[in-house]
Structure 1
């Protein structure tokens, strides 16, 4: 078991997370299997139970473990460990801190935080999920965690915290969380952007945020998922009738990380950005969707554009312009974006949602990709289709997940 947990920590590091010694020690010390005692579903849908030979290898893989289903829809899980690690590192936990967690899940994430010396209150709206988390924490001998059953929007008991971490996808920040946060605190939270939920590091006061990493989470319920005027279209099912409308731009194609960066930029620049699948392919892709959500344009990793529907040319031009703009700006990574927040949603249950996106200055373009070839479909801002013009890069308001990306997974 000790060897399995050591390999487990190595797998998390191999995914690009710079683990501190303290957090590496927590992952090595907390027995993940105690938090999935009845088994789980793997990403491919296969059920794994403790009697199976691959149970422990699966538990100590760098993968999401789905622990509760509503029909075919996952509603609770133990998140991908590398994503948990990235979020906890961004939280900057110190011993003695008081932490509020929205979304108890299995209790494993709270156990890691407590092992780092924090005092944790974790909340879940599902009573059975909260009860199982409470039981698992007791079996694991984890002290310093209180499990509450409550709607995360409320922020739970009227107490104050040094940090708040959210492990469900939301449309924005509850004002109650800001009320619970002490000065100098931060909120690590996955917020909707172009069909998925990249993680933001929110600093109250200025009400601004930085992007931590890409992620895909199960969505919360109630006011936390309210649609608002800056909301992107939901992810689309497989688009039919796609034809290539623009040739490849880049050689070699973008890798998964760069493709996520393009997707994030597209979402910052265009309100119809989301992601969609393509019939016959397992991956999902950056998409610019029409008003029906069933047609539009898809941008592939090599920069080629596929489009469908009665406005195929229009959305193809938009996709081309977004891709070319991202390239011309030196391919900004997600971490280069600063996000402004403003009140949105139901006036009786408002949220602070992303409303502006600004880019930090970037260093010169890194080598490794050839310049995009001239394209007949290349479209400058001033000639973009009517009602589709992109605002300037310093005032703009998200795309698709790359194939089976290691950060596209379910909520804790």
Structure 2
């Protein structure tokens, strides 16, 4: 940790994050709030941006900055966790490991997590951060999740929860097929300037229920299908 970061009062900033960012966003689940206080977000942030770890902003994961490679704001991660309502026995898939922070939160609330990251260097860094944090139920795998109808995700299916850690134009049916009955998927769906947090529950063999309870804009996931814009 840099000298500037070590002098920063992370505990006060963490308290402020929870009280001024997270709670006003209607995140009131006691388990989620306790977890945000427990897992040190600054340990998952690149050194160049460490003093911004608890700020209400997207944080770049590389220096120089690479478009689309970032941590989502804390309130978005917290609200997603609350909406997923994870259980201790859940089998979870995350697409887009990034820093490893969301994977750490998912791991603390579930039995096992498979987290896929398309960038090998980000995957390596995330695995090291998870190991340093003592989280041993998260597997980080280098893979293009959306390739070949989500073939990289099939090995550990079915999943109780799937998290897409970025925005997509629409939820692919091949990804929904990996959900267990009763399972739920979280993704940010749409196109700028309008995107919506989307929770899809599998309610039967071919039945799904979708809710879109809040709006947020997030960077695009790579290689997810985009609907055709061609019109006659």
Q: So what's the TM-score if we normalise by structure 1?
A: 0.48
Which has the larger Rg? 1
1:15 is paired with a residue whose SS is helix
Q: Which residue of structure 2 lines up, in the alignment, with residue 252 of structure 1?
A: none
Total equivalences in the alignment: 214
Q: Which residue of structure 2 lines up, in the alignment, with residue 190 of structure 1?
A: 188
Deviation (angstroms), 1:4: 3.4
CA distance in 1 between partners of 2:66 and 2:217 (Å): 14
Asked if 1 retains the 8 angstrom alpha-carbon contact of 2:185 and 2:199, the reply is yes
Say if 2:126 is the partner of 1:133. Answer: yes
Q: Which residue of structure 2 lines up, in the alignment, with residue 162 of structure 1?
A: 160
CA distance in 2 between partners of 1:166 and 1:76 (Å): 14
Q: Which residue of structure 1 lines up, in the alignment, with residue 102 of structure 2?
A: 109
Residues 1:14 and 1:25: Cα distance change in structure 2 (over 3 Å): closer
Asked if 2 retains the 8 angstrom alpha-carbon contact of 1:121 and 1:146, the reply is yes
Q: Which residue of structure 1 lines up, in the alignment, with residue 170 of structure 2?
A: 172
Q: Which residue of structure 1 lines up, in the alignment, with residue 218 of structure 2?
A: 217
Say if 2:18 is the partner of 1:9. Answer: yes
Say if 2:145 is the partner of 1:152. Answer: yes
CA distance in 1 between partners of 2:90 and 2:183 (Å): 10
Deviation (angstroms), 1:73: 4.9
Residues 1:193 and 1:29: Cα distance change in structure 2 (over 3 Å): same
1:101 is paired with a residue whose SS is strand
Say if 2:199 is the partner of 1:206. Answer: no
CA distance in 2 between partners of 1:10 and 1:112 (Å): 18
List structure 1 segments (4+ residues) > 4 angstroms apart after TM superposition: none
Q: Which residue of structure 2 lines up, in the alignment, with residue 38 of structure 1?
A: 47
Q: Which residue of structure 2 lines up, in the alignment, with residue 63 of structure 1?
A: 57
Deviation (angstroms), 1:175: 3.1
Q: Which residue of structure 2 lines up, in the alignment, with residue 91 of structure 1?
A: 84
CA distance in 2 between partners of 1:206 and 1:128 (Å): 38
CA distance in 2 between partners of 1:72 and 1:110 (Å): 22
Alignment map for 1:218-257 (pairs within 5 Å): 218-222=219-223, 224-229=224-229
Q: Deviations over 1:105-161 (max 9, x none)?
A: 100011111122441111111111111111111111122111011112215242221
CA distance in 2 between partners of 1:107 and 1:195 (Å): 27
CA distance in 2 between partners of 1:181 and 1:214 (Å): 24
CA distance in 1 between partners of 2:186 and 2:56 (Å): 21
2:195 is paired with a residue whose SS is coil
CA distance in 2 between partners of 1:176 and 1:127 (Å): 24
Residues 1:116 and 1:152: Cα distance change in structure 2 (over 3 Å): same
Q: So what's the TM-score if we normalise by structure 2?
A: 0.83
Unpaired runs of 5+ residues, structure 1, are: 41-49, 232-412
Q: Deviations over 1:5-46 (max 9, x none)?
A: 222211233432223111111100111111114223xxxxxx
CA RMSD of aligned residues (A): 2.3
The one of 55, 67, 79 equivalent to 1:74 is 67
Q: Deviations over 1:225-245 (max 9, x none)?
A: 4232599xxxxxxxxxxxxxx
Deviation (angstroms), 1:90: 0.8
Asked if 2 retains the 8 angstrom alpha-carbon contact of 1:68 and 1:74, the reply is no
Deviation (angstroms), 1:197: 2.8
1:63 is paired with a residue whose SS is coil
Deviation (angstroms), 1:194: 5.0
